[in-house]
A and B are shown apart, each in its own frame.
Chain A
Amino acid sequence: MSIKKLRKLLDNKEISALELTEQYLNKIEEKDKEINSFITVCYESALEDTKKAQEVIDSGKADMLTGIPISVKDNICTLGIKTTCASKMLEDFIPPYDATVIEKLKKSNAVILGKTNMDEFSMGGSSQTSYFGGVKNPYDLSRVPGGSSGGSAASVSADFCVASLGSDTGGSIRQPASFCGVTGIKPTYGTVSRHGLIAFASSLDQIGVLAKSAEDTAYILDCIHGYDKYDATSSKNATGNYTSLIGSDVTKFKIGIPMEFFADGLNYEVKTAVMNASRYYQSIGCEIVECSLPSLEYAISAYYLISSAEAASNLSRFDGIKFGHRCDNGESYDELIKNSRREGFGTEVKRRIMLGNYALSSGYYDAYYKNALRIRAQIKNEYDLIFEKCDVILTPTTPTTAYKIGEFKNNPAEMYLEDIYTVTANIAGLPAISTTCGYDKNGLPIGMSLIGKAFDEKTIIAMCDRFEKDFIRKEAVI
């Protein structure tokens, strides 16, 4: 059910905040054993949250999210609630503070149901690298839900919550949203404070939202956006009011179709569904403009260099001494740290740290890291040129639909290529939203993405909403 409808039921006292939350908690208890979308379910604190929410509702001072049950990715710090990043390294870590986004949700008296499973430290696109076991796709339990926010996407798709907070470094909200048949938005870099988000790649990371519709993502984004003195990279340009263009005339907007996103490597069924979406927009009066992002071919390489370099630095804080897993053995200070990191990190995290240090080491820095930054600048320039001619860009979210669990187990480099259509929005810092635009022959959701100009979330949300209102969504059956 949509946030707007739930708001009405709650405000009209047709359902209490407690009843609503209990419905979701019971469903999680009954069904999440199959999906494994949650690492921690907050049974007690969620019920506490409903008491406060009900008091606010009864006083007539509820805002859009008061009493709305939401899940949160387990890399966002929650005061007094375990925040593990799906890693043995942080298996017992209980943050002494709330992330800014959590403070904002609490101010709105939203109900936090629990912390969702993910790829360890957000490094992956399958949600199978979690120390707490992999997540399954609610549409087909033999397939991945995508990642890294796979638990968030699956929890929305399986109707374990109304919406979920995720994070997106190279597609980690949009790709799982696509695989799990839900809507996911990565806002413009700087829109949402990263204070309390456990850092992966700081120049690319951005907190965003997964929900059942573009409209619902907008309500959550209205709550969590905004400048934060605790995040120097947060921006004062994020103005909110993200539903303001919903229902307005979207036919005036020009849609760019970058041809490189439709070249070899794109699954035929995905291509057909996204082109059908383009024809839908054309049929309602939007102008379709062919455009080009020539440097797309370099995007994956640049992304993995930049993100791994930043990760190598960010993850150096995990030494097992101040917090996190500490090895029982280690005669010297150095040995203790090395052994703690060996035991605490999974294989993919170690690979990324090693790659990052390789990219930053002398002899390779110029050829790899510096060139990756040049590619980043070039991609941004190419997007600027496209946006001189159009308002939004339409692309597939992923080259294929959800793949089988274990498919890329022995070939990490091949799995990296799956991020080809999502990484450029992070590289250029642009907002992008993914929604379902079709289903393949196996009934698996196909995602399309709308990329917007910086800080123009309103337009992509309104465009996405218009499509969703005319599209028949098939819910996952679990």
Chain B
Amino acid sequence: MNTDMVKRLAQLSKISFTEEELAKMSSDMSDIIALIEKVSAFDTDVSMTPNTVDYKSLRADTYKPSCPTEEIIKNAKKVTGNSFTVPKVV
């Protein structure tokens, strides 16, 4: 796998890499893709079966209280009041 493709995947994956890490990832990915390449050789007309989950038993979509806000934000590293803090977007 070439470095351009690895860079594209890093962008899609939202992970930053150094040039050295990209080179190592490129080599590892090439080995792994050689392994998974085998699926392309599978030639049959069997159809993809969606999973067999019975979605008829979904619970009713009703309002009820969730976790308290103060409990939820406890795990955030930066908060302002009851909100998560992020760098300026606009």
Alpha-carbon distance between A222 and B68 when the two chains are bound, in angstroms = 32
What is the size, in residues, of chain B's interface with A at 8 Å between Cβ atoms? 51
Q: How near does chain B come to A71, taking the closest CB pair, in angstroms?
A: 23
A300 to B38, CA, bound (A): 9
Q: Which residues of A contact B13 (CB under 8 A)?
A: 312, 341, 350, 353-354, 357
Contact: B72 with A190, CB < 8 Å? no
For A197-236 the 0/1 string (1 means CB < 8 A from B) is 0000001000000000000000000000001010011011
What CA separation (Å) do A97 and B67 show in the bound complex?
8
Residue from A316, A371, A413 in contact with B34 in the complex, judged by beta carbons closer than 8 Å: A413
| B46 close to A345 (CB less than 8 A) | no
Check if B29 sits within 8 Å of A354, measured CB to CB.
yes
Residues on the B chain within 8 Å of A377, using CB: 46-49
Q: A326 to chain B: which residues have CB within 8 Å?
A: 76-78
Per-position binary interface string of chain A over residues 285-306, scored 1 when its CB falls under 8 Å from any chain B CB and 0 otherwise = 0000000000101101110110
Which residues of A are found within 8 Å of B36, using beta-carbon distances? Answer: 301, 304-305, 355, 359, 368
Rounded to whole angstroms, the CA-CA distance of A298 and B42 in the bound complex is 8
Q: How many residues of A contact B (CB 8 A)?
A: 71
Q: A96-B72, A203-B51, A302-B39 are in contact. Are A411 and B31 (CB under 8 A)?
A: yes
**Across the two chains, which residue of chain A brings its CB closest to B26?**
A354
B9's partner among A323, A354, A412 (CB-CB below 8 A) is: A354
Q: Which residues of B contact A416 (CB under 8 A)?
A: 32, 35
Chain B 79-90, CB within 8 Å of chain A: the 1/0 string?
000001011010
Asked if B40 and A341 make an inter-chain contact with CB atoms under 8 angstroms apart, the answer reads no
Q: Once the chains bind, are A378 and B46 in contact (CB under 8 Å)?
A: yes
CB-CB under 8 A from B32, the residues of chain A are: 304, 351, 355, 412-413, 416
Q: How far is the CA of A301 from the CA of B39 in the complex (A)?
A: 6
Quick check: A354 and B46 within 8 Å, CB to CB?
A: no
When each residue 412-435 of chain A gets 1 if its CB lies under 8 Å from chain B and 0 otherwise, what string results? 110011000000000001000000
For residues 82 through 124 of chain A, which have their beta carbon under 8 Å from a beta carbon of chain B?
Answer: 92-94, 96-97
Nearest residue (CB) in A for B17 is: A342
**Cα(A247)–Cα(B84), bound, Å:** 57
Quick check: is A330 within 8 A (CB to CB) of the other chain? Answer: yes
Question: Which of A324, A358, A371 makes the CB contact (< 8 A) with B29?
Answer: A358
A392 at the interface (CB under 8 A from B): no
Stretch in A31-39, A238-246, A273-281, A331-339 touching the partner: A331-339
Q: Please measure, in the bound complex, the distance between the C-alpha atom of A23 and the C-alpha atom of B76, giving whole angstroms.
A: 37
Q: In the complex, are the beta carbons of B49 and A342 less than 8 A apart? A: no
B35 touches A355 (CB 8 A): no
CB–CB B16/A358 < 8 A: no
A370 surroundings in chain B (CB, below 8 A): 48
**Also in contact, A93 and B75, with CB within 8 A (given A338-B15, A354-B29, A429-B52):** yes
Instruction: Type the 1/0 row for B40-72, where 1 means its CB is closer than 8 Å to any CB of A.
Output: 111010111101111101110000000100011
Whether A374 contacts B55 by the Cβ 8 Å rule is no
User: Of all chain A residues, which has the CB nearest B35?
Assistant: A413
Q: Which of A298, A350, A372, A380 contacts B15 (CB 8 A)?
A: A350
Given contacts A94-B75, A298-B38, A321-B84, contact A351 B54 (CB under 8 A): no
**How far does the alpha carbon of A203 sit from the alpha carbon of B51 in the complex, in Å?**
8
Assess the A371–B49 pair: CB atoms within 8 A: no
The answer to whether A341 touches B15 (Cβ under 8 A) is: yes
Known A94-B75, A233-B53, A323-B76; contact A301-B37, beta-carbon cutoff 8 A: yes
- Minimum distance in angstroms from A70 CB to a CB of chain B: 25
Partner pick for B77 among A320, A339, A359, CB 8 A cutoff: A320
- Supposing A96-B72, A326-B78, A355-B32 touch, asked if A350 and B38 sit within 8 A by C-beta, the answer is no
Interface residues of B in 3-35 (CB under 8 A from A): 5-6, 8-10, 12-17, 25, 28-29, 31-35
* Pick from A342, A358, A374: contact of B33, CB under 8 Å: A358
A327–B16 alpha-carbon span in the complex (Å): 12
Please state if A375 and B17 are interface contacts (CB–CB under 8 Å): no
Q: Is A367 located at the chain interface by the 8 A CB criterion?
A: yes
- Contacting residues, chain A, for B84 (C-beta < 8 A): 321-322
Known: A305-B39, A370-B48, A381-B46. A316 touches B57 (CB 8 A): no
- Distance A332 CA – B88 CA, assembled complex (angstroms): 7
A322 contact from B31, B55, B58, B76, Cβ within 8 A: B76
CA distance A358 to B12 in the complex (A): 9
Interface residues of B (CB under 8 A from A): 5-6, 8-10, 12-17, 25, 28-29, 31-42, 44, 46-49, 51-55, 57-59, 67, 71-72, 74-78, 84, 86-87, 89
Known: A190-B53, A345-B15, A353-B15. 9 other contacts (CB 8 A): A232-B58, A301-B39, A304-B36, A316-B14, A321-B84, A336-B86, A339-B16, A351-B28, A374-B44
Q: Nearest 6 CB-CB pairs, A to B?
A: A323-B75, A373-B48, A326-B77, A413-B31, A338-B16, A96-B71
